[in-house]
Structure 1
């Protein structure tokens, strides 16, 4: 079994981006139905009960530590139990370097087996001894905040439960490097982020939320990035499919902030413009060469060549209008499904 990339590998035709919205979208529905997605459990008749505490290793960041998760990058009602895998977050710009080396495909339940292993005796096992706990990403994409308040970029935990628990707070007028993985990362998957509205804290935005607020899994915009072996970085921004669902109370409301991809050297970039601008676009519209992903969310992708750098910029903008139902008369959920192609890496 070989790992294959499931997010943002742009094929040779340049017309189809592979993304992880299918997995994320299915996980969202599982959570809504009250289903729990736990780490690997080892069946043992005489296994002791207990939990492993979050360690203090270089680069590791405790998240939502007030819940049962105790700082692990797990749901707030989960704990790092004996006989389970316990994912963790790293500092902005860094990636976790530990996961189950036997988990070699992006499929459930293997996609849950990230982090350290809490064995049946309550000892934390480091599964990949040659890897650091946290290591620097490729450094080719940063988040730029041109809005008036701080913006929470919340990265999903993968391998793990894919909740948006890994925080990067970008203060107004500043930039922060985002964690961009290369092909050495688990199953060559990319990083995936939820972009919250300016003024939303990481404590409010980087967790599983509810329809009472357009934050966390209900945030309107998502982004992703990765780099291939040819030093091409793929940067994606798009609409969060959950924001567009009938059950979402905000589905017809255009946010008051936008996102766009910019390049330090535009000669090294293709796919520009790639923007969601409330003064120009309606709900589920993008500027540039957009496509529709799983769940009907529109997105655009920029290819950044030769190790050049790009930014995902957040800016404030007045809304053009609410959702134009006549423009979206053919509901994207009734459209033909997006064809997902994958590249097998030998």
Structure 2
């Protein structure tokens, strides 16, 4: 598995209407209707509360969703870390199991930890980082998977700084990748890492997307591309004032160059010998960092990205 070719919410709209199946004494599974109670965000070690002003109460869920009894409640972790809990009976990326991330809020209002072999949050592969050469802070917003796949998990990359990104290994949920929306410099994670609208090139309307995951042999796939929601909207009439590119620390990478500089080309153009077009028409390129090599996704001011 490498990447979903389009990084956007596909199946998560109705996640909150499903509850976890429970087997009766004959082994039959039933879906219990939700009751009125909720489970509060526990703020366990490594967890990060997101968009706390909504009904989600810090859980990595839509602001109009609650962590209700009889449902799965995903959460965010510190930058570079992955959520370590999900429905362990789900082994493939398919609906509705792809919604069953985080802790289970049982019908008594108690939080259940399904995966006893993992912490609530744990370090990713550590093979990809974000480098901010653009000046102002840049928000990388990771989608919630397993969960509703909204871009709610915040990683702030300060100007001139480097931040490790959460990169899943093959032991992560259904061997899926991490997906990020890359927002314009100067947009805070509070504003960027939530569902947006076509009036602002941020959130799910951000110009660029990225993804990464590591395989069993230590190779890490790193992808950058245009967000097809952006390119298909009126926002694309104004080119972004920043670009992105993948670099490799030790040169042990295949697929370079892989960059996007809107000052040098049109919207939806990618500088790569191996660029492709994904679902929705967003062009992208992929670099393979070989055998544990470290790659960077660098954000730069348009026209200042070099080769």
Please, what TM-score do these two structures have when normalized by structure 1?
0.82
* Aligned equivalent of 1:326: none
For structure 1, the 5+ residue unaligned runs are 9-18, 320-346
1:275 to 259, 267, 292: 259
Report 1:10-159 matches (<5 A): 19-22=3-6, 24=8, 26-27=10-11, 36-38=14-16, 40-42=18-20, 43-44=31-32, 48-159=35-146
For the residues of structure 1 that align with 2:57 and 2:111, how far apart are their CA atoms?
A: 15
How far is 1:252 from its partner? 2.5
For the residues of structure 1 that align with 2:165 and 2:242, how far apart are their CA atoms?
A: 20
For the residues of structure 2 that align with 1:133 and 1:226, how far apart are their CA atoms?
A: 20
Count of aligned residue pairs for this structure pair: 293
How far is 1:107 from its partner? 1.1
Q: Is the 8 A contact 2:35 2:70 kept in 1?
A: no
For the residues of structure 2 that align with 1:308 and 1:231, how far apart are their CA atoms?
A: 8
Q: Residue by residue, what CA displacement relative to the aligned partner does 1:122-177 show, whole Å, maximum 9, x if unpaired?
A: 00000011110000001000000001200000000000000000000000000100
For the residues of structure 2 that align with 1:154 and 1:20, how far apart are their CA atoms?
A: 16
Please, what TM-score do these two structures have when normalized by structure 2?
0.92
C-alpha RMSD of the superposition: 1.6
For the residues of structure 2 that align with 1:276 and 1:115, how far apart are their CA atoms?
A: 34
2:179 to 183, 186, 192: 192
* Aligned equivalent of 1:300: 285
How far is 1:37 from its partner? 3.5
Q: Is the 8 A contact 1:39 1:160 kept in 2?
A: no
Q: Is the 8 A contact 2:242 2:300 kept in 1?
A: yes
Report 1:140-179 matches (<5 A): 140-179=127-166
**Over 3 Å off, 4+ runs:** 42-45
Q: Is the 8 A contact 1:48 1:121 kept in 2?
A: no
Q: Is the 8 A contact 2:9 2:148 kept in 1?
A: no
For the residues of structure 1 that align with 2:87 and 2:177, how far apart are their CA atoms?
A: 17
For the residues of structure 2 that align with 1:274 and 1:166, how far apart are their CA atoms?
A: 25
Q: Which moved more, 1:99-108 or 1:172-181?
A: 99-108
Q: 1:283 to 1:24 in 2, by over 3 A?
A: same
Q: Residue by residue, what CA displacement relative to the aligned partner does 1:32-88 show, whole Å, maximum 9, x if unpaired?
A: xxx54426425436x631110000211000000110000000001101000000000
